[in-house]
Amino acid sequence: MDLNSILAFPLDVLPFIVLVLLIQFSVHEFAHAYAAYKFGDDTAYREGRVTLNPFVHLDILGFVLILIAGFGWAKPVPVRASRFKNPRAMSIVVSLVGPLSNLLLGIISIIIYVLLIKTGWIFAGSEGVTRALEVFFNYMIYFSFLLFVFNLIPLPPLDGYRIVAELLPWQTRYKLEQNAHWGTIIFLLLVFIPPLRRYTITPVLQFGWDLSHYIFNWFMALF
């Protein structure tokens, strides 16, 4: 069986994809867990989630699916908003820091990559080392902005849904929560049915790609 036929990414770059995803998922979930802990909810802390150890945050099925289908997930961080001093405002922050951590990783990766290019250090080693660095930083930047934008989509179970839900009046939010399972089904249909994905999810992800290019070009001009 040709593995390239069942994988969402070329086999020769798979080790880089795995490494990048482990970094992205662990930082994203750590950000959620750390923010919740600092705001007074120690649920994630007691489960050992306030850590950058990627294997603590790994959901095997979600990780395999992202390699095969291009879509997956990490293990959600448990949060008890009732323990927060200001549950609604702090819940928004806890939800928001996950995507923002991916954005920060993307900007840091761009700065390092641009500096390596401008100083010529990226070409200091062998051709293989140069190629490895290029592949790693390209995927690191790509997934950073993809996850940043993707997680802000206001559909369950994404962070964007939790943020929007907290901003709504209580009655509206209650009705929304009662029908959240339909939102999850709609989200899965949009992801896994190509014609639907092409006109919904894909344009959103394209925005993330365009944003990464804009910021990369801005830093290239700056330095």
**For 173-211, how does the pLDDT look when each residue is reduced to its tens digit (9 = 90+)?**
888 888 888 878 888 888 888 888 888 888 988 999 999
Rounded Cα gap, residues 127 and 119, in angstroms? 17
| Among 174, 172, 205, 207, CA closest to 190 | 205
Q: Is the separation of the CB atoms in 99 and 152 below 8 Å?
A: yes
List the structure tokens of 145: 């902005």
Q: Is the separation of the CB atoms in 187 and 158 below 8 Å?
A: yes
Q: Supply the pTM of this predicted model.
A: 0.92
**For 105-123, how does the pLDDT look when each residue is reduced to its tens digit (9 = 90+)?**
999 999 999 999 999 999 9
pLDDT at 174 (0 to 100) = 84
For 21-56, b/e burial (b = at least 16 CB within 10 A) is: bbbbbbbbbbbbbbbbbebebeebeeeebbbeebeb
Q: Which of 29, 127, 134, 177 is catalytic?
A: 29
Rounded Cα gap, residues 101 and 77, in angstroms? 15
Rounded Cα gap, residues 68 and 29, in angstroms? 22
In Å, how far are 8, 18, 20, 42, 169 from 13, measured between CA atoms? 11, 9, 11, 38, 46
Catalytic status, residue 29 = yes
**For 164-179, how does the pLDDT look when each residue is reduced to its tens digit (9 = 90+)?**
999 999 888 888 888 8
What is the signed CA dihedral for 164, 48, 50, 113, rounded to 10 degrees? Answer: -100
